[in-house]
């Protein structure tokens, strides 16, 4: 198509011009941690104008910590795990450099590359997010244990605490939904924005990293800020009432952020991400009585109050007994086994999402559940210890099965001009 008509050339907007015209959020519109003011713990959705504006804003990509961990959980998620297929470390490094620049641009509401359109080349950005706001996009990277094998000379960079997860009782893990050398957690309040981010990173990684698995999530299943109401999971229960909140800086320091005492300096300010795809047998659950459902969780379904208490945020009394000798919160209730008091004080920051992936070809049931994500600074002492206890005793096990799994070391945040390759190669 040589000889493009002059008229067409003139009418073709440059990306830069369009970006300006569309008024897409730039760095000047970045909203930091000030999301708390508009929503009280009792509200559960964006029902005010102020929160709608915040929901479309841009969050800072740079900082001491990566965005997407302490960030108040956005409403949608796309999680991707990649196998690195590069033939050498240099290719991996360059890809991480490209990913960093692109992620920062997308988080600011811009396209992957802010260059003039070149008609004879493929567009540098796939384009489906043009005109959409930043929607609080966060892009968070993590490195799996397998990345630290012999391929890229990274074995000396592997943090001691990045352990492989053991087999837990009841696990039915699908290898095609587990593991991976690198993970990307993209969260936003618009699913097209989150999908656009993962798709464009996958594209920038072509030849260097191949998508291994991908999971979409909707309806965050935990609140991670005191500004957010507690959402409900697909069993209809409020989930994450006692989650660590980002405002609790002591708990974030004690349980989430890796300190400067790590064997790997690059993990300072980082955290370890555990992902578990948990299928929920919702058809079976829906046939269970309300009382049994409440005994399974240890909470009143509608209010979210611990059994024996009147309000969601009342402190549970795990010692309380009924006149007939039974416990008010049954011995195998989920909240009893998951409570910090039952786990040597250990807590985790949960940041999961509900999912549904159509209908199981095997059973004909809805393929739906919880894509569980948690952050912690010591997986062995936190998630692994907790999950061992839950896998052995939790009354919920009758209704769930873990079908996917991954663990990743998420490095600390970076300053502008730095790259995700720094933790591995600098």
Q: Which of residues 16-45 bind its own copies (CB under 8 A)?
A: 18, 44-45
Of residues 343-372, which lie at the interface with its own copies (CB under 8 A)? Answer: 354, 356-359, 361, 364, 366, 368
What number of helices (H) and strands (E) belong to the chain? 11, 9
Question: Exactly one of 52, 64, 265, 392 binds its own copies (CB under 8 A); which one?
Answer: 52
In the complex, minimum distance from the CB of residue 331 to its own copies, in angstroms, rounded to a whole number: 14
> How far apart are alpha carbons 100 and 246 in whole angstroms?
24
Question: Exactly one of 185, 271, 293, 377 binds its own copies (CB under 8 A); which one?
Answer: 293
Q: Rule CB under 8 A: is residue 325 a binding residue for its own copies?
A: no
Which residue in the block uniquely carries the two structure tokens 């159509």? 358
User: Which stretch, 152-160, 165-173, 297-305, 382-390, contacts its own copies (CB under 8 A)?
Assistant: 297-305
User: Which stretch, 141-149, 201-209, 251-259, 336-344, contacts its own copies (CB under 8 A)?
Assistant: 201-209
Q: For the chain, give the longest Cα–Cα distance.
A: 89
In the complex, minimum distance from the CB of residue 370 to its own copies, in angstroms, rounded to a whole number: 11
In the complex, minimum distance from the CB of residue 95 to its own copies, in angstroms, rounded to a whole number: 16
Question: Exactly one of 236, 254, 380, 391 binds its own copies (CB under 8 A); which one?
Answer: 236
Q: Which is nearer to its own copies, 215 or 242 (CB)?
A: 215
With vertex at residue 151, the alpha carbon angle to CA 149 and CA 153, rounded to the nearest 5 degrees, is 80
Q: Rule CB under 8 A: is residue 192 a binding residue for its own copies?
A: yes
Tokens of 315: 């402190």
- What is the total residue count of the chain? 426
> How far apart are alpha carbons 298 and 237 in whole angstroms?
10
Q: Rule CB under 8 A: is residue 234 a binding residue for its own copies?
A: yes
Tell me the chain's radius of gyration from C-alpha atoms: 23
Q: Rule CB under 8 A: is residue 251 a binding residue for its own copies?
A: no
Q: Rule CB under 8 A: is residue 282 a binding residue for its own copies?
A: yes
Q: Rule CB under 8 A: is residue 223 a binding residue for its own copies?
A: no
> How far apart are alpha carbons 187 and 75 in whole angstroms?
7
> How far apart are alpha carbons 275 and 373 in whole angstroms?
4
Question: Exactly one of 191, 346, 389, 401 binds its own copies (CB under 8 A); which one?
Answer: 191
Q: Which is nearer to its own copies, 12 or 253 (CB)?
A: 12
Q: Give how many residues touch its own copies by CB under 8 A.
A: 100
Inter-residue contact 229 to 75 (CB < 8 Å): no
Question: Exactly one of 113, 117, 163, 251 binds its own copies (CB under 8 A); which one?
Answer: 117
> How far apart are alpha carbons 382 and 347 in whole angstroms?
7
Of residues 371-410, which lie at the interface with its own copies (CB under 8 A)? Answer: none
Q: Rule CB under 8 A: is residue 110 a binding residue for its own copies?
A: no
Other Cβ atoms less than 10 A from the Cβ of 156: the count is 7
Residue 406, classed as helix, strand or coil, is strand
DSSP string across 322-334: -TTS-BSS-TT-H
Q: Kind and range of the H or E element at 92?
A: helix 89-107
Q: Rule CB under 8 A: is residue 113 a binding residue for its own copies?
A: no
Q: Rule CB under 8 A: is residue 116 a binding residue for its own copies?
A: no
Other Cβ atoms less than 10 A from the Cβ of 44: the count is 14
Q: Rule CB under 8 A: is residue 146 a binding residue for its own copies?
A: no
Q: What count of Cα atoms within 13 Å lies in the side-chain half-sphere of residue 279?
A: 21
User: Which stretch, 4-12, 60-68, 96-104, 369-377, contacts its own copies (CB under 8 A)?
Assistant: 4-12
Q: Which is nearer to its own copies, 33 or 229 (CB)?
A: 229
Q: Which is nearer to its own copies, 24 or 69 (CB)?
A: 24
Q: What count of Cα atoms within 13 Å lies in the side-chain half-sphere of residue 96?
A: 25
Question: Exactly one of 87, 88, 90, 128 binds its own copies (CB under 8 A); which one?
Answer: 128
> How far apart are alpha carbons 163 and 176 in whole angstroms?
20
Q: Which is nearer to its own copies, 323 or 417 (CB)?
A: 323
């Amino acid at each position: 198509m040589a000889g493009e008509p002059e008229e067409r050339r003139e009418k073709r907007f440059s990306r830069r011009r369009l970006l300006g015209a569309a008024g897409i959020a730039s760095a000047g519109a970045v909203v930091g941690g000030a999301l708390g003011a508009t929503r009280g713990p009792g509200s559960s959705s964006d029902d005010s104008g102020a929160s709608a504006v915040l929901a479309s804003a841009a969050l800072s990509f740079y900082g001491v910590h990566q965005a997407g961990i302490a960030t108040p959980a956005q409403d949608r998620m796309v999680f991707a795990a990649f196998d690195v297929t590069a033939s050498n470390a240099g290719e991996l490094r360059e890809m991480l450099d490209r990913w960093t620049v692109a992620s920062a641009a997308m988080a600011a509401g811009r396209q992957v590359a802010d260059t003039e359109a070149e008609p004879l080349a493929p567009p540098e950005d796939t384009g489906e997010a043009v005109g959409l706001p930043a929607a609080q996009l966060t892009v968070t990277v993590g490195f799996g244990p397998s990345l630290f094998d012999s391929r890229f000379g990274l074995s000396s960079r592997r943090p001691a605490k990045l352990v492989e997860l053991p087999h837990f009782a009841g696990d039915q893990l699908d290898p095609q939904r587990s593991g991976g050398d690198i993970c990307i957690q993209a969260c936003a309040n618009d699913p097209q924005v989150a999908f656009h981010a993962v798709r464009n990173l996958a594209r920038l990684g072509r030849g260097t990293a191949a998508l291994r698995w991908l999971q979409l999530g909707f309806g965050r299943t935990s609140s991670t800020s005191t500004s957010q109401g507690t959402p409900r999971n697909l069993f209809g229960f409020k989930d994450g009432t006692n989650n660590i909140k980002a405002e609790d800086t002591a708990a974030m320091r004690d349980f989430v952020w890796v300190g400067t005492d790590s064997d790997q300096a690059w993990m300072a300010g980082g955290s370890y991400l555990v992902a578990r795809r948990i299928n929920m047998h919702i058809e079976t659950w829906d046939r269970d009585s309300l009382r049994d459902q409440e005994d399974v969780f240890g909470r009143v379904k509608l209010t979210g109050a611990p059994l024996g208490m009147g309000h969601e945020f009342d402190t549970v009394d795990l010692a309380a007994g009924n006149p007939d000798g039974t416990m008010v919160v049954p011995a195998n209730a989920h909240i009893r086994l998951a409570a910090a008091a039952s786990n040597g004080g250990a807590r985790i920051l949960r940041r999961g999402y509900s999912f549904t992936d159509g209908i199981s070809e095997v059973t004909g049931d809805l393929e739906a559940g919880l894509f569980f994500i948690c952050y912690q600074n010591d997986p062995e002492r936190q998630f692994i210890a907790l999950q061992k206890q839950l896998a052995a005793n939790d009354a919920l096990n009758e209704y769930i099965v873990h079908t996917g799994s991954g663990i990743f070391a998420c490095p600390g945040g970076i300053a502008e001009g730095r790259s995700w390759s720094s933790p591995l190669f600098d």
